[in-house]
């Protein structure tokens, strides 16, 4: 009897996040955060930005070299003639506010994820990592037709509703009529500075503010000039712990040698043909892109926000883990060492 030939089994590659249906993507994101991130980031109330808290809890004597002068309790120091510092406890309930950039510049990507999908992954990480009894999550999403607001609420149902809305939001096209931006809308779409101003008005209670964007809105051509959103971000950082999540794609940093291509500005719809075979052109592009990203980094640093850079061609969960561990090391270091490291 002849033996039938059996074709060798071919291992099927797991579908990427971008290839899954919205509900499947939400489940994949939840599993990634709860299994991979939670497994490496232990400790309640020690989230993406660990801090000393804001609830008063008495005073103690000042320890030279360990305590910051800005925490001095001058009233107790005057009464006792001994330097004292204020002690604070971590807030028992955390309110997290998200500002998510959904502008046309986020509709770009050349890797497994595009910038918008990476922004959704970042929102999922923030939502699942800050979830807890009494904790609340609110969000504002900048879109071409205006700002969509999600009030601060607790619970997984609220978080999933936010993630579904981000995944299902209509994508602006470069061929859209830029004079109207949306049907019946004559005004310009809101920019990042507008979103930060609105967030500053509603985020009254101290908490965590997370801004997810490429931070390119209104960036001046002169690197010495501050970004238009820097001032409001500094005001937020004076009251809240602020985390700026910068989303980029590798093609925004360097051009590949692929011959003649047509570049489209997603914000204005303008087109330009570029010959990428020109080595000098690719070098100038890389230099300009590097200077632009350095400009963003300096603006974020001056504003006092923690900076987390995510790229569409990298493991975003590993980048978040590295960032959180670095933040915790800085928070645990003495004040003198933190100042020297900065």
Q: What are the pLDDT digits (tens) for 208-253?
A: 999 999 998 888 888 778 899 999 999 999 989 899 999 999 999 9
List 59's β-bridge partners, or say none: 86
pLDDT of residue 39: 60
pLDDT of residue 341: 41
Q: How far is CA 54 from CA 47, 87, 93, in A?
A: 15, 9, 11
Question: How many other C-beta atoms can be found within 10 angstroms of the C-beta atom of residue 139?
Answer: 26
CA atoms of 57 and 84, how far apart (whole Å): 13
User: What CATH fold (topology level) applies to the domain 95-333?
Assistant: Rossmann fold (3.40.50)
CB 100 within 8 A of CB 141: yes
pLDDT of residue 57: 53
Annotate 242-270 with DSSP letters as a single string: EEEEEEE-GGGT-----SEEEEE-TTT--
At 317, is the secondary structure helix, strand, or coil?
helix
Tokens of 171: 């994508």
pLDDT of residue 172: 64
CB 241 within 8 A of CB 51: yes
List 242's β-bridge partners, or say none: 209
Q: Please, where in the chain does CATH 3.40.50.410 lie? A: 95-333
In 3D space, the residue among 105, 98, 100, 97 whose CA is nearest the CA of residue 217 turns out to be 105
CA atoms of 285 and 13, how far apart (whole Å): 35
pLDDT of residue 92: 54
CA atoms of 297 and 290, how far apart (whole Å): 11
Q: Treating both helix axes as pointing N-terminal to C-terminal, what angle do 115-129 and 316-332 enclose, rounded to 10 degrees?
A: 50
pTM above 0.85, yes or no: no
Successive 10-residue mean pLDDT values, the chain, 342 residues: 46 64 78 68 52 58 77 85 73 82 87 90 90 85 87 91 87 51 54 92 89 91 87 92 94 89 80 89 92 94 94 91 80 56 40
Q: How far is CA 200 from CA 216, 240, 271, in A?
A: 20, 10, 36
pLDDT of residue 50: 55
pLDDT of residue 186: 42
For the CA atoms of 112, 117, 122, 123, the dihedral, rounded to the nearest 10 degrees, stands at: -160
pLDDT of residue 13: 57
In 3D space, the residue among 228, 142, 146, 143 whose CA is nearest the CA of residue 187 turns out to be 146
């Amino acid at each position: 009897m002849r033996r039938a030939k059996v074709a060798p089994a071919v291992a099927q590659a797991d579908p990427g996040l971008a290839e899954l249906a919205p509900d499947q993507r939400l489940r994949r994101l939840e599993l990634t955060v709860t299994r991979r991130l939670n497994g490496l980031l232990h400790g309640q109330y020690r989230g993406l930005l660990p801090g000393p808290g804001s609830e008063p809890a008495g005073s103690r004597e000042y320890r030279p070299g360990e305590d910051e002068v800005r925490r001095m309790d001058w009233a107790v120091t005057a009464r006792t003639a001994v330097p004292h510092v204020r002690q604070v406890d971590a807030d028992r309930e955390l309110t997290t506010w998200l500002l998510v950039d959904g502008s046309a510049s986020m509709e770009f990507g050349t890797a497994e994820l595009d910038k918008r999908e990476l922004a959704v992954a970042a929102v999922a990480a923030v939502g699942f990592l800050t979830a807890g009894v009494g904790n609340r999550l609110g969000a504002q999403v900048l879109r071409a037709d205006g700002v969509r607001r999600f009030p601060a609420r607790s619970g997984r149902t609220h978080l999933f509703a936010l993630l579904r809305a981000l995944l299902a939001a209509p994508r602006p096209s470069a061929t859209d009529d830029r004079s109207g931006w949306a049907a019946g809308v004559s005004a310009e779409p809101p920019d990042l500075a507008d979103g930060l101003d609105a967030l500053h008005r509603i985020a009254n209670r101290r908490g965590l503010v997370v801004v997810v964007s490429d931070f390119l809105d209104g960036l001046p051509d002169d690197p010495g000039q501050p970004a238009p959103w820097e001032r409001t971000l500094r005001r937020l950082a004076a009251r809240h712990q602020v985390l700026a999540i910068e989303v980029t794609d590798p093609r925004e940093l360097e051009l590949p040698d692929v011959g003649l291509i047509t570049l489209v500005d997603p914000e204005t719809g303008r087109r330009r043909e570029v010959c990428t075979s020109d080595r000098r052109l690719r070098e100038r592009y890389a230099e300009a892109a590097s200077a632009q990203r350095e400009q963003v980094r300096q603006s974020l640093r001056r504003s006092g926000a923690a900076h987390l850079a995510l790229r569409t061609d990298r493991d975003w969960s590993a980048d978040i883990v590295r960032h959180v561990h670095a933040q915790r090391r800085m928070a645990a270091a003495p004040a003198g060492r933190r100042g020297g490291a900065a």
